[in-house]
A = this chain, B = another copy of it.
Amino acid sequence: MKNTQATIRDLALKLNISISTVSRALRNAPDVNPETKKAVLALAEQLHYEPNRVAQSLRIKKTKTIGVVVPQIAMHFFSSVISGIQEYAAQHGYSIMICQSLESLDTEKSNIHMLVSNRVDGLLISLSSETTNVEHLEHLLAKKIPIVLFDRITDALPVSKVVVDDHDGAFTAVDYLIRTGCHRIAYIGGPEGLSISNQRLQGYRDALQKHGLPLLPDYIVHCTDLQHGATDATRRLLDLPGRPDAIFCMNDPMAILAMQVLRERGVRIPDDISLVGFTDEPVSRFIEPALTTVAQPAYTMGQAAARLFIGQVEQPDNFTPRQEVLPTELIVRGTTRRL
């Protein structure tokens, strides 16, 4: 009894045929006798033979593995994206290898090194909030390693990307706020370099402009700390001489932090201040009052990223970078006034 995995060689020996023939039989090649083929397949079944993907990969120089880097696995948005990636990938014979950058550029780099060492066929990346310089990604492109960016993207790279329509989502949300009677609307965003934050900021700006409202620098706050920065930001906004009557936050966790500060200070929502988030985390519909937010299709984004990637590696000839923009949807709940 062998206590190890059977190899193609074991099959060949036992059947008294050559390794090449076994290989052909397993891959259903045309030039092999149907009888031999049947014998090989039967024995493979019997010995629980599993082809050694490591050896295959070395030989054919493809691993059928996709490297995925996200800032934080345990965020609902990202785990949903991953779920979409994983399902699409599995359906097309790909495995996925996952890393989290934890919003650190250094960790992102070392993640990527690890994945490249593992010779993944390419990378699906959502950038850390620290990542403003993308030299490490340019190196990969120089080595012809395909990359698809999603959600947290950069314009500096000629690769396929999939995002939600951040500008439009923000524009719609802020437009809605204005139409419910808010005129002093603040924005709490992420660090300056973060693509999604800037896109959403631009949507906010354009909505104000459309309605002829002034753009006050004091009303725009950038948080470098994505986890807790929103608390301070909200406090600062409340202490302003002209207190805002609405706050639009870059994402739901920030909006929830803001909500807690507002509650602390006895500010009524939405009567005194309206609040809008982004993402539609599962929490948001259950919180009191339920959070008005911009929903983004996370699972679909994952599928799209995987689809673009596999399309690129399986038909490299007619490939050009493509940017896919997914629609968002404003979900009106209790933190905004009625129209």
Contact = CB atoms under 8 A, between A and B. Distances in A.
Interface string A70-87: 001111101110110011
Nearest to A1: B142
Interface stretch (A90-98, A203-211, A219-227): A90-98
Interface stretch (A11-19, A113-121, A232-240, A242-250): A113-121
A111 B91 CA distance: 11
Copies of this chain present: 2
A155 interface: no
A82 B5 CA distance: 28
Contact of A82 (B50, B73, B142, B282): B73
Contacts of A116: 5, 50
Interface in A34-68: 48, 50-55, 57-58, 63, 65
Contacts of A143: 3-5, 48
Given A4-B143, A86-B98, A299 B74 contact: yes
Contact of A117 (B53, B114, B139): B53
A256 interface: yes
A74 B282 CA distance: 11
Nearest to A63: B54
A282 B98 CA distance: 23
Interface stretch (A122-130, A146-154, A283-291): A283-291
A118 B53 contact: yes
Contacts of A144: 3-4
A116 B54 CA distance: 10
Contacts of A115: 95
A198 interface: no
A118 B54 contact: yes
B82 A74 contact: yes
A23 interface: no
Interface string A262-284: 00000000000000000001110
A56 to B, nearest CB: 9
Given A256-B286, A286-B283, A288-B288, A117 B50 contact: yes
Interface string A100-118: 1000000000010111111
Contacts of A100: 83, 86-87
A8 B54 CA distance: 18
A99 interface: yes
Interface string A137-177: 00100111000000000000000000000000000000000
**In the complex, the 3 A-B pairs of residues with the closest C-beta atoms, listed nearest first:** A79-B79, A286-B287, A288-B288
Interface of A: 3-5, 48, 50-55, 57-58, 63, 65, 72-76, 78-80, 82-83, 86-87, 90, 95-100, 111, 113-119, 139, 142-144, 256, 281-283, 286-288, 299
11 contacts: A52-B117, A52-B119, A53-B119, A54-B54, A73-B79, A76-B76, A82-B98, A83-B100, A90-B111, A95-B99, A98-B98
